[in-house]
Amino acid sequence: MKMLIGQTITNIMPGFEFKRNVGLPGKIVDNPFLDICRSQIDVAFSCDSKRVAEEMPGFHWITAYGDYIKEYGYAINKPGIKFEVLT
């Protein structure tokens, strides 16, 4: 699937221990086609990239098409998982 450049996205970085997730809103700035994965995007975000690397609780990102930071934060809080948004 080719992702649309300029599309607003929600990125979630889940922690391995199910205690903390980090959210990062962004926009798609490129959609290259490389032989490594079916869905590939380059993402722009307003947060400092060093902070993203320091705050990332795991090594996977979950990306949703659209702005769902508020909704995700509400839902993930129900089982008691801490949610931080990087902006």
Residue 13 to residue 55: CA distance in whole angstroms = 9
With bands split at pLDDT 50, 70 and 90, how would you rate the model's confidence at 6? very high
Instruction: Return the closest-CA partner of residue 70 out of 30, 25, 27, 34.
Output: 25
| 48 Cβ contact list (under 8 Å, min separation 6) | none
Position 1 pLDDT exceeds 70: no
Per-domain boundaries in the chain: 8-85
The pLDDT of 66-84, averaged and rounded, is: 96
Mean pLDDT, the chain, integer = 92
- What DSSP state is assigned to residue 4? P
CA dihedral (79, 58, 7, 34) positive or negative: negative
